[in-house]
Every structure is written in C-alpha cells, then in structure tokens.
Chain A
Amino acid sequence: MLENINQTKQEFTNELQNTHDLQQLEQLRIKFLARSGRIGGLFEGMKTAAPADRPMLGKALNELRQYAQLHYDAKKADLEQAQKPKEIPFDLTLPGRMKNVGTKHPVIQVMEEIKRIFISMGFSVENGPEIESDYYNFEALNFAPDHPARDMQDTIFIADKILLRTHTSPVQIRVMEKQKPPVRAIMPGWSYRNEAVSARSLVAFHQVEGLYVDKGVTFSELKGTLVAFAKQFYGSSIKYRFRPSYFPFTEPSAEMDITCYLCGGKGCRICKYSGWLEVLGSGMVHPHVFKAVGYDPENYTGYAFGMGIERTALLRYGIDDIRILYENDVRFLKQF
C-alpha cells in the first residue's frame, strides 16, 4: 500500500512536469485529484488495510493529497498567468516627481567653513552691532582723532560719532570689555565702507575677525594658527608668507599672502602678476587697545586677525565680479 502511495506521488510529479496547458491539467486533476481519481481510490483502498497500519497510511495519504493539491494549484496559477494578455510595463524612464532644491548662499558657505575651522581650534563665535560709535570702531582701536590711518577705511556716518562699522574689529573691544582673559573668539559679520560700487568692491561686505588674548601669546603663535587655518582652508600644499604692514590696533602687523592657486605663483590677472594673494591682515594686539579695555599689557599679549569673506568666495568659486553675489539670481544661487 505504502509503495502504491509513493508510486502515485512519483507519477503525479512526472505528469505534472509534462503538463503544458490548462486542458492537460484538467485531465491530470481528474486522473489524480477527483473524487474517483487515483488518490480517492487509494483512500478507498485504505479500508481494506490492516487496522494497525491505518494511521500510518492515513498520514501518508493525507500528505500526498496535500502535496498534489499544492502543486496542482501552483501549476494552475502559472498556466493561467501565462495565458493572460501581457501587461504593458511601467515606463521607468519617466522623470521622477521633482521637488524644489534648496541652496545655501556661497558667501555663507565660505563663512561657515571658516567658522568650522576656527571653532575646531577652540575659538568661540561672538557678535556685535553694525551701527557703532566712533569709540568702538576707531578710538578704542587706537585710531587717533585726525590721524590719516582713518583714511584707510572710508566711513558711512549715521550721526556725529555714530557710524556703520567699517570692520568687525569693534567686536574685539566689546568682547574684551565683558570678558577677562583668556579670550579666544572669532567675530563674523557685515561691515560697510563708503566706496564706489565696482567689480572689486561693494559698499557692504562680510568680515571674520579673530582674537586670542592670554599670557604668553606670541607673534610666532599668530603665524602658527593662521598657517594651520590656511592649510585647512586652502589646502595643505600652499606656500605662504607674512609681510610687515600697518593697522593701528595691532603692532607688529602683518599681511598674510599665499601663493596664487590660480597660476601657482607664476603670476596672473587675479594676483596682479605678483604670484601672491593677500588673504588676511593680522598682528599683535596693540598695548593701547589693551589699555582701552582695561587689560594689563604688561601681563597679557594677544593676536588679532581679519579677513574678507566675499573676496575669499570670489577666489574659491572663480567669480570675477563681486556684484553677482548680491544680485541673488536664482540661476546663480542654484550653482552652489
């Protein structure tokens, strides 16, 4: 009997394999699965089996019936599917449903990168007002009244001794007034100059100011910090130099130049054929500035530096007219 069951299973499997249309399948069903079919016959035959064998045989028979039904159903589904007319596949080349794409202003991107580098060196970020007094913008920064150094920064005035800050340096004074050393901060923001608008200059621009005051801060360390910054920002292979300069609020003062990365130092239009690009101004905080904020210049030394963001952005993105930065043409903005 058991042998018979196994043989039936084998025959069913073989025949199912050779079934290629629904008609054949129906014949197969009648042959094996119909009430009067082979499997039904086997169930009939079980009645004649020894009672002791019946449970075992019943189990095997049930398994066979389940097996046959399952494979029959699957085959049927396959054949029916094959018979249906083919569906047109979805056109995956249709464009995706587009969303509006946001962008960050290139000046802000440069600003954020500069901030990120200095924050990673332990600098905090401080702010100050754009409308400033003569005291914070000039006097406390050691610009003597009636001194030609004031000509270095053409000023827009709001009222007598009230002006739009010409640099972010007044924030240095505000930070030192409210905080005792050590101070290590950068101060980003808008500055204003009374200069005619041109491809190279705008009335308003962003600066980032930096200040570090503590015991034992040296010019040597100023160089170290700024070189570390420049290598991160402009690339580790840049060459640099520090050139004596003059700012009333620092002494000694230095301009930092890096090799022009557009021409590699050979000289081009952007670097005015010098091979060098001036990237920031810096120096040791002048003792007069310390006196103005009540720091003891005998006890503390410090360095300060400042750089223009727009100029940096122009160089970075290869833009040759500064005015495009503030036209905010979306076709321009979307490039960043």
Chain B
Amino acid sequence: MKVSQNWLKKYIDFNLTPEQFTEKLSMLGLEVEAFEDLAKKFDKFVVGEVIERAKHPNADRLSVCKVRTGKNVEQIVCGAPNVAAGQKVAVALIGAVVPYNQHARDGKPFTIEHVKIRGVESSGMICSEIELGIGKDASGILVLDTPAKAGTPLAKYLGQNDVIYEIGITPNRPDCLSHIGTAREIGVLVNKKIRLPKIVLKEIKTSASKFAGIEILDKDKCPRYSARIIRNIKIGPSPKWLQDVLTAVGVRPINNIVDVTNYVLMETGHPLHAFDYDKLAGHKVVIKTAGEGDKFVTLDGKERTLTSDTLMVCDGERPVAIAGVMGGANTEISDATVNVLLESAYFKPQNIRRTSKYLGLSTEASYRFERGADIDITVTAADRAAQMIQELAGGEILKGVLDAYPKKRKPVTVKAHAERINSVIGVSLSKAQIISLLKKIDLLSRSISKNEILVTVPAFRNDIMEEIDIIEEVARIYGYNNIETKTHAAIDFSSNVRNDEFQNGIREFLIGSGFNEILTIGLQDEATMSLAGKKPVMAVNPVSAEMAALRTSLVTSALKVVKHNQNHGVKDLRLFEIGNIHLLTSEKALNSLESYKEEERLLLVISGNRQPACYGNISQPVDVLDIKGEVSVLLSKFCLDNYSFIYYDTHEILSEECVGIEINGTYAGFFGKIKKQIADKLDIDEAVFVCEINIETLRGGWVRDRKFSPLPKFPIVTRDLAFTVDVTLPQRNVEDVIREAGKPLCMNVVLFDTYTGEQTGKDKKSVAYDLEFQSPDHTLTEEEVDSVLKKIIEAVNERCKGVLRG
C-alpha cells in the first residue's frame, strides 16, 4: 500500500527522515518496502528573484542576471528571451542535478557547476519547465507566481515535497490499510494520539428515508448497510489537490464523486460505493444472494457469472453491484448523474473472499472487506464522503443516514494474564506497564484481578480475539529488540539425528567416486514423464504445462540435465541425485493422501568417456560395465553381499542392456542403458547409462554395524583355469558353478579373460579365471588343491559343457 507523508501529517505530527520512518515503522511490524522522496529531485533548487538583468558584454542572446536566492545574490548567465528583472524564477544552484537537458539530444540530466560563459562568471541556472521535468515548455524560463519568497525550496513551491512510502501490510492488519490506520501506528512511535478529520454536515430538511429504503435479506453475509443520499450534485473533474494526492498513492482520478469515495477509502480504509440514484429501480436497495448461474455486467464492462453464494446489492428489480467487490455498469456514476446514493457497508470477510477468488476479481474494496473492515465506521465514512461531495460537487445532503444494522456488534473484550504474557515473551512486566503499553494502540484495559486484565478491543482491530493476540501486541509495542536474547534450552538427544546420515554417507561416497551431485525439480511435462511408463500424479492448476506432472522416476529430469550439458559441450558426465518421486497408488480416491506414495530414490548417470581427458588416460566411451562397476562398488560398500542382480531384466526406459537390483531379496531398482528411442526423443546424442535405486530398500540392506572377522592365518594358493564354453553362455553361470564346486576351500573366483577367435571358433568362447584357495586351519597341500580343482573341472564340464583348455 502506498501512503503519502503529507497526507499522514493531517492526522499525526511527526518529524522523521524517510530512513527513520522506514526503520521505525518496520520495527513495529509495518514493513516499509520502499520510499520515494519527491523533494530529492529538487534538492538545491530554490525560488529566485531576478533583481537585475543586463546584456552579456560578449553575446547578444545572453543576459547576465543578479538573482536573489535567499540570503545570497548569485550572478547567473541566462539565454532565455523572456527573463526580466522582478520575476520569480526557478533556480538550480551549484550542485543541483537538472532532470532534463533541453540542449542535448539525449536530454540526459546534468549537474550545475561554476562556469564562465563567454568570459562571464555564472553560478547557477534559471530553469525552464522542460528542464525541471514538470512540463513540456522549452521556449523560455518558467516564471513563478510573484508572491513566492526567494529562497523557498522549489519542491515546496511546486508542492513536490512529499515522500511516498510503500508499506507491506500483513493480512492480519486490515486496519492499517489506510492513512488514518498508519497514522495510528506512527502515534506509537512518537507517543501522540491521532487527530481524526472533523465532519460537519449541512443536511437539508428532507429526510433520506423518504427517498430510499434498505432491506437486508442475507443478514449473515451483510451485517450492516449504511447509505446517504446527496441530490443535485454537479459531476466534474476533481480539484488538482485531490487528483494529486490520489495519483501520489496510485489511484487514478475519475470524477469528483468517485474520487471522493476513493479518498475516503484511502483515508479511513473503509470502501464506499456511489450509485446513480435515479437508476436504482424502485429507489430501494436489497441485499441478497444471486441465483446460481446468473449473469451480471460489472462496471469494467465484463460479464460475470454468479453463484448462489455471491452476495449482491440489488434495487427493486435487479442486481446493481457485486457486494464488496465491484459495482454494476447499470448504475454507474456518469456525467449525467445528478443524484447519488452512497453505500457504506460491512460485508462478511469470508464471503467476499470466496466471491473474489471465484470471480478472479480483486479490488481495493474486496481486498479490505475480505481482511475485515471496521463495522463501527460505516456511518462516519458515509458522512465524511457526503461532506466532501458537497464541498466539491455541490448538492444537498438529505437528512439522516440510512442504516440497516440488524444485529449490533457486541463489544469484544479479552482477558489476559500478566504472568502468561511474561512467560511467553520472556520478560517481567508489571500489570500497570502492560496496561500502558496497550493504551498506546487504543487497546483500553483494566485490572480485574491480581494477575488479570480485561482488554476492550475496538472494532477496527478484528485480529484481536484472544489472549495470544494481546501477548503479541505487548511484545510488539514493548519492542522485539528490547526483549532479551537468551538461551537456556536443556540439551536432550533425540534418536533421529542419524536420520539422513545414510544419505550423507552415500553422497560422500559418490563424490569420492567422482560424481557431481545434481538437484532437479520434481515437476515435469506429462509427455516426458510418461516415458518412464507410469501414470504420474498431475497438478490441477500447474504453473505451466512443463511443470504439470510429478515425476515417477528421477531418470527423465536427469536426462534433461545430460542434454543441457551436451549442448554446452560437456559430454563426459558422472552425475547423481538423491530425490523424491511420487506414485499414484489409486486413481479412484484422489482426495485421499493414501492414494499417493512418496519414495526417495538414488540416481546415477554416466555418459561420455570413462576417464577425464588427460595425458595417459585412454579416451574410451563408457559402457554398461562401467555403470555396473559403480553400482557394484556402491552396493558392496554399504550392503556387503546383501544384494544380487537380475540379468536381462526389462524396464520402460532401458534398452535390452537392463539389470534389476535386489537387496535382501526385495526389488530395489535397476541399471542399464537408456533406450535409443528415448534418447532420440530428448535429442541426446551419446549413450547414457543410468541406475535408479530405492533409498529405503538400500538402507534396508545397509550393514551399519560391522563385526570384525579374524584375518586368515594360512597362505593362499592360486591357480588358473580356462574353459571353452558355448559363446552364448553367460560367464556368470560358469563362475557360479566354480564357486559351488570349489566350496569350502576355493575362497575367490576372479574372471580375468574372455576370448573368442581362431583358437575357439565362432561358436565358442574361452573364459579364464584366477582361483584362490585357502583354509582357515592349516596350510593347504598340493593334493588337497588338486582334488578340489578336479571337482571343479568335472562340474563345469557336466553343467556348462565346458572343456578345460590345456
């Protein structure tokens, strides 16, 4: 909300620099977000009096003037044809920044300095309208009114001495959405009470009640409706001062009637609406809800569809306004308007809020009504506006205010305990101190027992309903920064501190393995997300179609990261992400949280060359064994041997190079190569290998508490074995048979070579293994090892049709 310093000063005297004002008001909870000091623009500009004008000795078109600028008289060389002795003029003194340079093509501002013009000293400049940025006249200097006093700051003379503040008002403080409301808070700062505007009404004898009636049919949504009627007004533009103050606070002037309602809105915070009285059929006002689906044209010319919840102001025949939101085109004030009915009502905040949300229409009025207006002020506001209308548009104010107020607001009182106040804030204030703090913001209270006070809450503070609200006010007025900064929290150790220790362990491990951590947002477009196969959870009101679906897998967002990096020439990628995915478990009960499942996943991505480009490193593209290696190392590190792979698995996003991962027998995720179609769709030109693992399942296999097993005492005996097997037989089958047959003495089997070629023929391959034998209790003899080898060779021969190579 914009407020004008000059306007505020009508209600409260204060003398604060804009910086002080900003600091102090912010510390009271009214955050001053910005200010504009209009006078700054005219710093070092004053009203000057031309005492003497002489021709320049060296230039025909120039004059040498003696100008009084207060106590001093300056010599100024001036080129304007219209300068003359006796004139009051606008003078830019040394150091002034002239907003517009009429002699330069770009018009850039420039600073006044001591200069010699054709040999004559000049200390200042007499300005034209265009140079001052207040008009378009460039033909000569601006001549001011003669009564102006030399030395007066020009800003003051021009009425440009205001400071406009932009204040952020929190939703709980609608009472501050006005100059009077803001002034009340300033009163706390300067320890003064505000002056409310004096209202003197000149009513005529004719009673308003003869000219209109008010009927509230929905008393819940409209607890109070007040109105005044003013006859025989003359529509026209508002005077300059009114137009200026409205413009200053961001309101566009329209005509004297509408401007007055806006002025009173900005002054008191109470929204008013003016109807053309003669257009109100039956000269009555009825407040009731609309019919479902009814149409209504608001004064912005738009047709709105209403619901049975929309509260309408109607005349004898039809609706004339959407209550508290916007008036209708049918009864709008026009140049032909002569008689006015001025509405000053109070509408139920929740209803106005629903209507405004439903219509997607927020106005100054609805903004205040939905936060809560002051029900006690309706008549005052109507009177204030009627008075101003009469002053500015003439006319006769009919006698009496029409005021339908079926159920009077009961005074709100709140009990507060001094002890409780002190114990929440952490201070030790006496009851008397509390009472005096509250008094500063018009919360009058009295002591009702040893420890309790009873606070009477004025209607404009609709945010104060219970004790905690009083506590907040005490803290606020006492000053947050006057509250001591203490710590005495007793230490207690909770069990959950290790909660994400596991994730951090994975993170550190992967960073050590040369992976860069990425973070991506969990919202994607539906088409990309559907590549992952599952139907995603969708937002009903997405920010954009690109962010409408919640991801069901971390892979697709990471592929976009791969794409981004490839586009920027970075092709060798090792990335990981730890993030959440969301799955829809039931499409029927979308209104139940049970239908959504959140899973934390770990994603690895590798692409490009295996090793960084560097002398001695071979540039070789990664393949599926690289991702397999990374996954194996990670799983072995955290889960020891609690995992296994499902070879030749399938997955929507992976090619036939796809391996499933089981941890403790539970499916945990997959790794493999991205399908070509998907890479093509995302315009990725290199092979990408990914792995996605469910973190919970991974954690399930985590062997956190390790047990020491004694180191072997007896030596290892190693032997090599090579077999020729069918080329299609996975080596793993051979390896498994060796392990099985070699038990218990064969401790380790390591594949060191595979080969297909001349020696084997196309249909066969050779697989060669290093075998390690060891006994926990004695040194193995040759015979022992040989007998195990024999068993192994027989088993491979029998179960894999493997032939031992010589």
Contacts and interface: CB of A to CB of B under 8 A. Distances in A.
A23 B135 CA distance: 111
Contacts of B519: 105, 107-108, 325-326, 328
Interface stretch (A44-52, A55-63, A157-165): A157-165
A8 interface: no
B593 A148 contact: no
A159 B512 contact: no
Interface stretch (B27-35, B377-385, B435-443, B633-641): B27-35
Contact of B27 (A149, A202, A214, A243): A243
A164 B499 contact: no
Contact of B574 (A102, A132, A184): A102
A115 B507 CA distance: 15
A40 B478 CA distance: 111
B556 to A, nearest CB: 14
Contacts, number: 274
B469 interface: yes
Nearest to A161: B591
A254 interface: yes
A253 interface: yes
Contact of B541 (A103, A132, A149, A194): A194
Given A328-B575, A329-B564, A127 B499 contact: yes
A252 B425 contact: yes
Contacts of A145: 350
B598 A194 contact: no
Contact of B516 (A125, A204, A218, A330): A330
B616 interface: yes
Nearest to A284: B424
B475 A147 contact: no
A190 B171 CA distance: 25
Classify chain A's interface size.
35 or more
Interface string A244-269: 11100001111100000000000000
B689 to A, nearest CB: 14
B516 A102 contact: yes
A200 interface: no
B688 to A, nearest CB: 14
Contacts of B611: 98-100
A101 interface: yes
Contacts of B612: 98-100
B580 interface: yes
Interface stretch (B55-63, B222-230, B532-540, B793-801): B532-540
Interface in B504-531: 504, 507, 510-523
Interface in B584-605: 590-593, 596, 598
A220 to B, nearest CB: 3
A105 B518 contact: yes
Nearest to B370: A148
B753 interface: no
B232 interface: no
B499 A125 contact: yes
B542 A328 contact: no
A245 B170 contact: yes
Given A105-B519, A197-B543, A227-B485, A241 B598 contact: no
A152 interface: yes
B171 A329 contact: no
Contacts of B523: 192, 203-204
A318 interface: no
A197 B517 CA distance: 23
A159 B353 contact: no
A133 B592 CA distance: 8
A159 B520 contact: no
26 contacts: A98-B617, A99-B611, A100-B574, A104-B507, A119-B497, A124-B494, A125-B497, A131-B550, A133-B593, A158-B537, A162-B593, A164-B550, A184-B492, A203-B543, A214-B489, A220-B483, A220-B485, A221-B488, A223-B485, A223-B486, A225-B489, A245-B29, A253-B472, A272-B33, A274-B22, A329-B564
Interface of B: 22, 26-29, 31, 33-34, 170-173, 349-351, 353-354, 367, 370-371, 423-427, 466, 468-469, 471-472, 475-476, 480-481, 483-497, 499-500, 504, 507, 510-523, 537-544, 547, 550, 561, 564-565, 568, 570, 572-575, 580, 582, 590-593, 596, 598, 611-612, 614-617
Closest 10 CB pairs of A and B: A220-B426, A100-B514, A218-B426, A244-B29, A246-B170, A102-B511, A124-B494, A224-B487, A159-B590, A146-B350
